[in-house]
Structure 1
Amino acid sequence: MKALITFFLCACVLFCGAARTLAADEAVPAAKPTIFVCGDSTAKNNGKTKEGLQMQGWGTPIAAYFDPAKVTVSNVGHAGQSSMSYYNKDWPNVLPKINKGDYVLLVFGINDGGTPAGIGDETRPGKDGAEQHTYGWYMSKMATDAQEKGAQVFFLTVTTRNMWTNPKAKFKDATPIGELPADYDAKDDKIERGTAGGRMTQTTKDVAAKLNRPVFDLTNFCADLYEKMGREEVNKLYSDHNHTYPPGADLVASSIVSGLKALKDSPFVPLLSEKGKAVPAADAKYVSDNLKQ
């Protein structure tokens, strides 16, 4: 009898202990996912102009479009980097931080003039003798690395530069060279649509299609928006042809949120803050989901 009582007492202790452990486990909230912003100075730039004016990349203000209670935004961009230099110098430090359930935004191209073109596996020797891969190879490798860790990868085409043309006038970036002619019409101002004549934009789309990953055409979304705004208004947002002041960075950030919201079954929508919810989704023509059915 005494042995039976002892058995039941032990069982009760074990049961209660298990219950307490379960309750404690249930009380611990699941770790928040992280959105990693991987880009160049257009994404991360907290420097100042020669006049002392503050510059900013879009990776800073985009955090305000997401609910900090639901997701963390980590801007791991690096000014001056191409896809090749970012992969070689920054990616080894970024990749270990990426976990299952995270999101990775990849956008490069502004500084990739020296990166071998294409999306293939061909290589060439660099000046230092090191093997150089194509732009598409570096973008693909970073994407697949992140996916192997359980993250979802989303491509953005290269940011739109503040460089304008007009058949009746010449500009240095967005500033007229000399007096504007009498027959000048601002409606004919056209902004550059991607570096290398748009090649970087198309190559990013090709990489995304090859990997069956979504891509947002940030290049043409902003180009269309900027041409509606007009050259003079857009020029107020830029410190030069590449870099934005805080208002310009915020406009690019909101544009990216528009694109992310336009994705089919977008995983970003539940993570938005009130500010993010107020941003309209981009037209479907700017988004390619590329997901297998």
Structure 2
Amino acid sequence: MKKFKLLTFLCLCISITSCAQQKNTTPTLYTVGDSTVKNGRGDGYGGLWGWGDFIGQFLDSTKINVENHALGGTSSRTYQNLGLWDSVQKQLKRGDYVMIQFGHNDNGPVNDTIRARGTIKGIGNETEEITNLITGEHEIVHSYGWYIEKVVKETQAKGAIPIIMSPIPRNDWHDGKVPRNDNSYGLWAKQIAEKTGATFINLNEKMAAKLEGFGEDNVTGTYFYKRDHTHPSARGAAMAASLIINELKQTDNSIKNYILNDVKVVLPKKKNIFLIGDSTMASSSNPNTIGWGVPFPQFCDTTQVNVINKARGGRSTRTFIYEGLWDAAKSEFQEGDFVVIQFGHNDAGNIDKKKYRGSLKGVGEETQEVMRDSTGLETVHTYGWYLKKMVNDTKEKGANPIILSLTPRNEWPNGKAERRTDSYVKWAKEVAEAEHVPFFDINDIVATKYEALGKEQVKPFFPQDHTHTNLEGATFTAKTVAELFKKSRRLGLRSYIYFD
């Protein structure tokens, strides 16, 4: 029995040792660079992605590890000054790989009180001695090429294999062309690769050509953010990674032995913003009755979010639920989505007569039995009860409910734009407070803006009646909603809202 236990123990030790040895001998690809390689924690926060976040999907993870050590805001100089390169260099072993891409931040000032991250242009040995205005320390600043060459040589000294990339292009078009950096950082990166024998990938040229093939209108909003010409979307970052892989296949670099065939890149799932409401939010074929939900997507970064307008004209909280529209929309909600709910205009309608869309006033639990023409008996609840149901159903799906008060009508009692502060606005706010969800008083905020414009300036927004707007009026309201979402820290939508 003792011999059996001893044998079992020895087998276990051998197994553990074997696993440890396998882990130590498995090569690792390290990526070093700036925010175009990895932004933040590499989790897409704020919608910012780097190609280093996707490069691993093209490689056989059973045979090679991938670690993205890039850091946004760094240059070839500050990446080393901060000790980031030292932490990578200490881990390197023979057979590892290091992908290197810098340049976007090297063009900044050599010495200032903000970043002090610039390098001397070129690949020469010239230096500039400074007292760093941020650290207060004496520093000898070198050329861009000097810093890149240092990383390459220290990689090679450990028996690892360096791969240098020219910086990705900016989404900054001139006469239908994407500017290259083949006379600056792209050229200098290539020269260092040639000098040291490192593999060089002209990512700048390859990606610029690819973007030009798509055309500017198809690139902005899909591969790059509308608000940012430097940082790509997830789709743009994945494309950059695929171009690197395609170029590596044409080299004699041994990393190509780990490249997978027929890769289908998995992009991060977009968030959804669902719009739930009546005709003042809904789409319409009538140009005189356009809901604000129609132009709202133009204020959203659609590379990060989908705007799904489920609003339906003529509906109240009651009929939206009774007709199954709510259940249909709810079935699409996913964890982390946003659900914007706005009703009130039709809730004041008839409770027990044709259309049957009125809800009971208030937020209480009282009910009324109503016999409908053809569908039988219906238990009608209060406006607040229906709102609470929508809020709680949304929470159960792991989504985020947001309540808006109804839009103001083009009515001007006593020279002031109409407000419903004593009814539907009040009740919507009470539900939001009771359920601890965000509330935005669109009724008051838009009415205040109307008053600033004046009655005659607002009148063209309402060409058909006093409730429904044309596209201009809808855009006015949509922009107001977007501004409120952008300002709110609590909401979690700030990074998804965009203004020209």
State the TM-score bracket (shorter-chain normalisation).
Answer: 0.7 to 0.9
Match of 1:29 among 267, 271, 282: 267
Measured after TM superposition, the shift of residue 203 of structure 1 is 0.3
Q: Which residue of 1 aligns with 2:446?
A: 222
Match of 1:191 among 417, 422, 425: 417
- Give the letter aligned to residue 190 of structure 1: K
Q: Which residue of 2 aligns with 1:86?
A: 320
Q: Per-residue CA shift, 1:43-100, capped at 9, x if unaligned? A: 014132xxxx543110010001011100000010000000000112210110101100
Other structure's SS at 1:97 match = coil
Measured after TM superposition, the shift of residue 236 of structure 1 is 0.7
Q: Percent identity?
A: 31
Measured after TM superposition, the shift of residue 20 of structure 1 is 7.5
- Give the letter aligned to residue 142 of structure 1: M
Q: Which residue of 2 aligns with 1:62?
A: 296
- Give the letter aligned to residue 417 of structure 2: I
Greater helix share, 1 or 2?
A: 1
- Give the letter aligned to residue 338 of structure 2: Y
Rounded Cα–Cα distance in structure 2 between residues aligned with 1:54 and 1:150: 36
Match of 2:433 among 209, 229, 232: 209
CA change 1:31–1:205 in 2 (3 A) is: same
Pairs aligned (count) = 238
Rounded Cα–Cα distance in structure 2 between residues aligned with 1:85 and 1:260: 28
**Please, which moves more after superposition, 117-126 or 135-144?**
117-126
TM-score normalised to structure 2 length: 0.45
Rounded Cα–Cα distance in structure 2 between residues aligned with 1:119 and 1:42: 22
Q: Which residue of 2 aligns with 1:112?
A: 347
Rounded Cα–Cα distance in structure 2 between residues aligned with 1:74 and 1:21: 40
Measured after TM superposition, the shift of residue 259 of structure 1 is 1.8
RMSD across aligned C-alpha pairs, in angstroms?
2.6
CA change 1:241–1:28 in 2 (3 A) is: same
CA contact (8 A) 1:159 1:219 kept: yes
- Between structure 1 and structure 2, the one with the greater Rg is 2
Structure 1 segments unaligned to the other structure (5+ residues):
1-6, 167-188, 276-293
Rounded Cα–Cα distance in structure 2 between residues aligned with 1:100 and 1:119: 27
1:160 aligned to 2:160?
A: no
Other structure's SS at 2:371 match = coil
Rounded Cα–Cα distance in structure 2 between residues aligned with 1:147 and 1:69: 25
CA contact (8 A) 2:362 2:423 kept: no
Q: Which residue of 2 aligns with 1:149?
A: 397
Other structure's SS at 2:314 match = coil
Q: Which residue of 1 aligns with 2:333?
A: 98
1 or 2 for the larger relative contact order (CA 8 Å, sep ≥6)?
Answer: 1
Measured after TM superposition, the shift of residue 244 of structure 1 is 0.4
CA contact (8 A) 2:279 2:289 kept: no
- Give the letter aligned to residue 272 of structure 2: T
CA contact (8 A) 1:214 1:263 kept: no
Match of 2:494 among 243, 248, 269: 269
- Give the letter aligned to residue 145 of structure 1: D
Structure 2 segments unaligned to the other structure (5+ residues):
1-17, 27-58, 67-259, 349-357
Other structure's SS at 1:259 match = helix
Rounded Cα–Cα distance in structure 1 between residues aligned with 2:64 and 2:326: 39
Rounded Cα–Cα distance in structure 2 between residues aligned with 1:112 and 1:211: 20
Other structure's SS at 2:388 match = helix
